[in-house]
Amino acid sequence: MANALKPKHQRLVLVIIALVALLAAGLLAAWALRNQASYFYVPSDMTAHPPAPDRAVRLGGMVEKGSLKTMPDGVTIRFIVSDGKARVPVSYSGIVPDLFKEDSGVVAEGKLGSDRTFHAATLLAKHDERYVPRELQEMTKAQARQTVAETK
């Protein structure tokens, strides 16, 4: 009679192989995505420990009042993002979100240039919890509730 594994041992071997395959798939996925992660920085972190020039990161903070400038091409804007401790100049070319303005929160996705200017590819404007859509601004709270209820 040949040395065959008992059914109990066959199941154990299959479970071990499945676990090893699952672990290998997880490690392979993590290795493949290692450079795709977008790290979040605030200006004080970015000035203290700047990311590598080719690394995509997110910069979050407040748009400094009086820093927003539109360049002559009409598409590029420059502004400064601050966290109260440090300041980082930002350059962005593209359509600016409606909620983007001075003295408001912003998250910029992009790369830090060799000139210490953050070159944003995407801007995400943040609004406060008191945000009200333009359509509802002139209404009373009761009218706004009724309008929202009617749209559901």
pLDDT digits (tens, 9 = 90+) for 34-78: 766 667 889 998 999 888 877 889 999 999 999 999 999 989 999
Say what the pLDDT of residue 1 is.
Answer: 47
Cβ burial, residue 92 (10 Å; 0-12/13-18/19+): buried
Cβ burial, residue 134 (10 Å; 0-12/13-18/19+): exposed
Supply the CATH number for residue 74's domain: 2.40.50.140
Q: Are 52 and 113 in contact (CB under 8 A)?
A: no
* Residues 118, 61 share a domain: yes
For the cut 90, the answer to whether the pLDDT of residue 24 exceeds it is yes
What whole-number percentage of the chain has pLDDT above 70? 80
* Residues 43, 12 share a domain: no
138: in domain: no
Q: Are 94 and 77 in contact (CB under 8 A)?
A: no
Domain that holds residue 57: 39-125
* Residues 16, 51 share a domain: no
* Residues 80, 25 share a domain: no
Q: Are 29 and 51 in contact (CB under 8 A)?
A: no
pTM of the model: 0.62
| pLDDT tens-digit readout, 97-136 | 888 888 888 999 999 988 889 999 999 887 655 655 665 5
